[in-house]
């Protein structure tokens, strides 16, 4: 699939997105734009109304997404941090702990699952998707197949998984999934090259169209990695370029904007930059990006935490919700919801209740942040510890 994408993109991998590239017509973009007029209008598919309702359900006031779609290898790293072996029973025990938390649906509207979890049942025989439905939590599924090196680029990656995606998505829908997630990344220290940005945007657009054709609301996630020592202005510059490409290709693929969700990274300085940004500054820059690039037809913007501490991610989300937005601005957190849970659980059955209380504390904090009502007063010191990992994969 990569080769087809590369032919379509027709961009030089040596061309980086630099300070001047946004104001100049680089050859590949200007040539493509003259031939990019599409006169076809997508007929409303059989799933269109359902997609719109699903997206609205996930983007409901005071709620966000719990991301537990880590691969088995990454789940193993989580378990290893508390001294557990990476076995299916241990993975099931942990994910069951999360999804059976009483009252979780008050703060969580959707849960992104790994394929293993989508097909699992609890130890007492109840399907995981039914556990979620009973709490009015929409089941979702990670559908990408991970990052691999992008030939011809500046040591960058592209996301694989389009081959067979339609048939897999149809099966996921039958199993009860109603939304999907596809993560690709853009690295600022690697340029980024125009090739990598266009490949990311095109792959996301194809995935989104395939998902909608099979009844799944696509979460569109081009993550701008925190790696690097760049300024917040540089992050904004790259993010604007990435999102302009993403929305161009979404439109070219006739994706219904009312039936998608976004999962962007917040606009922050690089993790190694000498100056940290305040929540108000991060909110200012991130909302500036959204207003410039995201149509108001998109119902929900569910931010990833990207290695921020639990408290940082919540404070930044709260700052973005101090004033009204044309979209539901919320969260789709993994580590920023799970870190305290793992520490409380330690793999011991007698700690399950304490771990579930820890999850509710974090979920409620982010629910309040979605409503612009969060205060960090009384937060534990552990929740303030950053979780950035250079070159993080999952």
Mode of pairing for the β-strands spanning 108-113 and 179-186: unpaired
User: What's the pLDDT at 212?
Assistant: 98
User: What's the pLDDT at 390?
Assistant: 52
Tokens (6 digits) for 304: 């990833």
Burial of 166 (0-12, 13-18, 19+ CB in 10 A): middle
- With respect to residue 81, please indicate whether it lies within any of the assigned structural domains: yes
Report the length, in residues, of the chain. 394
Q: What share of the chain has pLDDT > 70, as a percent?
A: 84
- With respect to residue 12, please indicate whether it lies within any of the assigned structural domains: no
Residues 223, 186: Cα–Cα separation, whole Å:
6
Residue 1 has pLDDT above 50, yes or no: no
In order, the DSSP letters of 260-293 are -EE-PPP----TT-SS---HHHHHHHHHHHHHHH
Contacts for 218 with CB less than 8 Å, ≥ 6 apart? 179, 180, 181, 182, 207, 208, 211, 212, 255, 260, 261
If you average pLDDT over residues 306-335, what whole number do you get? 94
Residue 217 has pLDDT above 70, yes or no: yes
- Contact status, residue 65 vs residue 109, Cβ threshold 8 Å: yes
- Contact status, residue 267 vs residue 232, Cβ threshold 8 Å: yes
Residue 326 has pLDDT above 70, yes or no: yes
Number of domains comprising the chain: 1
Considering the candidates 199, 263, 310, 379, report the single residue annotated as catalytic.
Answer: 263
DSSP 193: B
Active site residue 221: yes
Tokens (6 digits) for 165: 């995606």
User: What's the pLDDT at 386?
Assistant: 52
CATH of the domain at 196: 3.20.20.70
- With respect to residue 30, please indicate whether it lies within any of the assigned structural domains: no
User: What's the pLDDT at 31?
Assistant: 37
Residue 6 has pLDDT above 50, yes or no: no
Q: How confident is the model at residue 241 (pLDDT cuts 50, 70, 90)?
A: very high
- Contact status, residue 177 vs residue 199, Cβ threshold 8 Å: no
- With respect to residue 27, please indicate whether it lies within any of the assigned structural domains: no
Cis peptide before 192 (omega within 30 of 0): yes
- With respect to residue 203, please indicate whether it lies within any of the assigned structural domains: yes
Q: How confident is the model at residue 17 (pLDDT cuts 50, 70, 90)?
A: low
Residue 382 has pLDDT above 80, yes or no: no
Q: How confident is the model at residue 383 (pLDDT cuts 50, 70, 90)?
A: low
Residue 103 has pLDDT above 60, yes or no: yes
DSSP 119: T
User: What's the pLDDT at 393?
Assistant: 55
- With respect to residue 92, please indicate whether it lies within any of the assigned structural domains: yes
Residue 372 has pLDDT above 90, yes or no: yes
Tokens (6 digits) for 46: 């059989």
Residue 331's nearest CA partner among 300, 308, 357, 292 is 300
Active site residue 263: yes
If you average pLDDT over residues 97-113, what whole number do you get? 98
Burial of 308 (0-12, 13-18, 19+ CB in 10 A): buried
Considering the candidates 221, 237, 310, 312, report the single residue annotated as catalytic.
Answer: 221
Scanning 35-177, the segments in alpha helix (DSSP H) are 48-58, 72-80, 88-99, 115-118, 128-134, 165-175
Residues 94, 115: Cα–Cα separation, whole Å:
15
Q: How confident is the model at residue 385 (pLDDT cuts 50, 70, 90)?
A: low
User: What's the pLDDT at 18?
Assistant: 55
Q: What is the mean pLDDT of the chain?
A: 88
- With respect to residue 15, please indicate whether it lies within any of the assigned structural domains: no
User: What's the pLDDT at 376?
Assistant: 78
Residue 351 has pLDDT above 50, yes or no: yes
Choice among 52-56, 81-85, 271-275 with the minimum mean pLDDT: 271-275
For residue 276, the enclosing domain spans: 2-7+45-373
Tokens (6 digits) for 258: 């009312």
Which tens digits make up the pLDDT trace of 18-50?
544 434 433 344 334 444 444 444 444 689 999
Residue 177's nearest CA partner among 143, 221, 209 is 143
Which has more confidence, 278 or 309? 278
CB neighbourhood size of 130 (10 A): 12
User: What's the pLDDT at 27?
Assistant: 39
Which has more confidence, 256 or 384? 256
Tokens (6 digits) for 114: 């790994």
Residues 299, 262: Cα–Cα separation, whole Å:
9
Residues 314, 316: Cα–Cα separation, whole Å:
5
CA distances from 5 to 8, 38, 151, 251 (A): 5, 18, 12, 16
Residue 229 has pLDDT above 50, yes or no: yes
Using the structure block, give the residue that is written with the tokens 């820890």: 358
CA distances from 248 to 30, 198, 208, 219 (A): 13, 10, 13, 16
Which tens digits make up the pLDDT trace of 128-174?
999 999 999 999 999 999 999 999 999 999 999 999 999 999 999 99
The answer to whether the pTM exceeds 0.85 is yes
- With respect to residue 125, please indicate whether it lies within any of the assigned structural domains: yes
């Amino acid at each position: 699939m990569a080769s087809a994408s590369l032919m379509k993109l027709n961009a030089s991998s040596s061309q980086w997105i630099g300070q001047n590239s946004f104001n100049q017509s680089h050859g590949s973009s200007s040539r493509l734009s003259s031939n990019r007029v599409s006169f076809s209008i997508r007929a409303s598919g059989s799933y269109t109304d359902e997609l719109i309702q699903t997206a609205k359900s996930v983007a409901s006031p005071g709620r966000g997404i719990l991301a537990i779609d880590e691969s088995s290898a990454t789940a193993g790293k989580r378990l290893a941090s508390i001294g557990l072996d990476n076995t299916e029973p241990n993975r099931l025990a942990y994910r069951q702990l999360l999804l059976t938390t009483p009252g979780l649906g008050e703060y969580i509207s959707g849960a992104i699952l790994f394929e293993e979890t989508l097909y699992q049942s609890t130890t007492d025989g109840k399907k995981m998707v039914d556990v979620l439905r009973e709490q009015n939590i929409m089941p979702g599924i990670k559908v990408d197949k991970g990052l691999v090196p992008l030939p011809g680029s500046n040591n960058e990656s592209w996301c694989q998984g389009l081959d067979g995606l339609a048939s897999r998505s149809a099966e996921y829908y039958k199993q009860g999934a109603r939304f999907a997630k596809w993560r690709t990344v853009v690295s600022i220290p690697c340029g980024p090259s125009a090739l990598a940005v266009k490949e990311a945007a095109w792959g996301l657009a194809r995935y989104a169209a395939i998902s909608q054709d099979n009844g799944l609301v696509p979460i569109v996630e081009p993550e701008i990695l925190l790696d690097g020592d760049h300024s917040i202005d540089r992050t904004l510059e790259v993010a604007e370029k990435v999102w302009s490409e993403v929305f161009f290709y979404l439109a070219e693929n006739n994706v219904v904007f009312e039936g998608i969700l976004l999962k962007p990274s917040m606009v922050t300085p690089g993790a190694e930059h000498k100056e940290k940004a305040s929540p108000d500054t991060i909110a200012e820059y991130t909302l500036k990006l959204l207003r410039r690039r995201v149509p108001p037809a998109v119902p929900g913007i569910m931010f990833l935490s990207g290695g921020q501490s639990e408290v940082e991610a919540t404070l930044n989300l709260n700052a973005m919700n101090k004033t009204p937005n044309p979209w539901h601005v919320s969260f789709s957190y993994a580590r920023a919801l799970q870190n305290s849970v793992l520490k409380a659980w330690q793999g011991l059955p007698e700690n399950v209740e304490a771990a579930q209380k820890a999850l509710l504390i974090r979920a409620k904090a982010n629910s309040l942040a979605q409503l612009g009502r969060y205060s960090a007063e009384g937060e534990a010191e552990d929740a303030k510890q950053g979780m950035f990992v250079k070159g993080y994969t999952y």
